[in-house]
Amino acid sequence: MINKYLPYVYFEGKIVPLGKAKVSVTNKTLQYGSGVFSGLRGYYNKEEKTVNVFRIEDHYKRMLDSLKILNARLKLSSKQLADLTIELVKKNKPAANFYIRPFAYCPSEVIAPTLIGNEVFDVAIYMMTMDDYLPVDKGLSVCVSSWNRISDNALPPRGKFSGAYVNSMLARDDAIRAGFNEAVFLSADGHVVEGSAENIFIVRDNVLITPPATADILEGITRKSIIELAGENDIKVEERLIDRTELYIADEIFLTGTAVQVAWVAEVDKRKIGSGKIGPITKKLQKMFFDTVYGKTEKNKNWLTEVVFK
Ligand code: PMP
């Protein structure tokens, strides 16, 4: 994955060149990991020369919800954030697939782990080109992490807090150093939660199973989309706790997320999943997902915001 930052950034209320978007080393969010962020994808359709951003309002709604957990807020609504994002995309004129990173932070420089008196956050939005984050055509080799997932009553995974990604880094880095593509977290009580930055689905006996929203997951927007696409195909979906050993005996496993999109898993802890090839349910949902995001199907067109620029 090669990221190339696009030249313009929304910062302190204006669109400015990337090099001008800087905060101080004394910034409270930098010191205490209290950033709230989002990650959206934009898809470039080469044939049609169209650019579509995926589920923009859902991403901003989740970001504002994360702020609410902190008892913090922005001066902007999700609609205003979406409009600003479209303006920024027009300014950057991407001609390849891209990723948008809105990042809300506390502008205070007072040292103390509290947001009291500094509840109004600033937001910056920047963009980069992004192709596949992990391969979507070759099966992934993943491991169950020895690190447990953080929990709702400690550092809530439902919120997309920058500091929470230390948990992800510990798991992902150990997995990569051990030769795997990605790590899968268990909760402290031993249930499968999610990947370092992806939700997880397994298929057993033609039933699509994913941990529920109350299982210390980030409530993924790709996850929600896959559940909706499965419903359109009469694929039975169960949101329930998953045991570690169910991973080993699943017929199919795939990971979902804005960056990863829909990527299938070929092995977990060196145990081959199903036939070791992409399974039929994964294949079908992956195709539907890509057809949707590239605007190749009329269905679910409302998930896309087309950005037109000359
Ligand atoms: N879980 C975690 C921990 C993540 O960071 C992400 C990526 N945002 C996801 C799941 C997937 O969420 P989404 O589909 O909204 O990108």
Q: Strand, coil or helix: what is 7? A: coil
Q: Which of 79, 160, 299, 301 is catalytic?
A: 160
Residue 48, both tokens: 């049609």
- Identify the H or E element spanning 178: none
- Ligand 1 atom nearest to CA at 62: 15
Joined together, the tokens standing for residue 157 give: 């995974």
Tell me how far the alpha carbon of residue 197 lies from the centroid of ligand 1, in angstroms: 5
What top-level class would CATH report for the domain 140-293? alpha beta
Q: Give the nearest ligand 1 atom to 199 CA.
A: 10
CATH topology (fold) of 8-129: D-amino Acid Aminotransferase; Chain A, domain 1 (3.30.470)
* Ligand 1 atom nearest to 168, measured from its CA: 3
Q: In angstroms, what CA-CA distances link 198 with 127, 132, 154, 294?
A: 20, 14, 20, 21
pLDDT attached to residue 154: 97
Pocket-testing residue among 258, 260, 261, 293, ligand 1, by greatest number of atoms within 8 A of Cβ:
258
Q: Which of 152, 145, 59, 142 is nearest to 99 (CA)?
A: 59
Residue pair 195/142 in contact by the 8 Å Cβ criterion: yes
**DSSP letter (8 states) at residue 139:** P
Instruction: Judge contact between 294 and 45, C-beta under 8 A.
Output: yes
pLDDT of 1 reads 57
> How many beta carbons lie within 10 A of that of residue 25, not counting itself?
8
Tell me if the pTM is above 0.85: yes
CA 38 to ligand 1 center in whole angstroms: 9
Say how far residue 8 (Cα) sits from the centre of its chain.
Answer: 22
Beta bridge partners of 53: 42, 305
E strand or H helix at 99, and its extent? Answer: strand 98-105
Let me know if the fold of 8-129 is the same as that of 140-293.
no
What number of other Cβ atoms are within 10 A of residue 114's Cβ?
12
**pLDDT at position 2, please?**
62
| Catalytic annotation present for 160 | yes
Contact 160/196 with Cβ under 8 angstroms?
A: no
DSSP string, 236-281: EEEE---BHHHHHH-SEEEEEETTTEEEEEEEETTEEPTTSS--HH
CA 57 – ligand 1 centroid, Å: 15
Q: Specify whether the CB–CB gap between 85 and 100 falls below 8 A.
A: yes
In 178-220, which residue ranges form alpha helices assigned H by DSSP?
A: none
Positions of the chain with pLDDT lower than 50, given as ranges: none
Q: Are 104 and 37 in contact (CB under 8 A)?
A: yes
> Where are the domains positioned within the chain?
8-129, 140-293
Tell me the residue type at 144. V
User: Considering the chain, what percentage of its residues have pLDDT values greater than 70?
Assistant: 99
- CA dist 40 and 297 (Å) reads 20
Closest CA to 297 of 40, 43, 89, 95: 43
* Cα–ligand 1 centroid distance for 248 (angstroms): 23
Pocket of ligand 1 (CB under 6 A): 39, 194, 197-199, 218, 220-223, 256-258
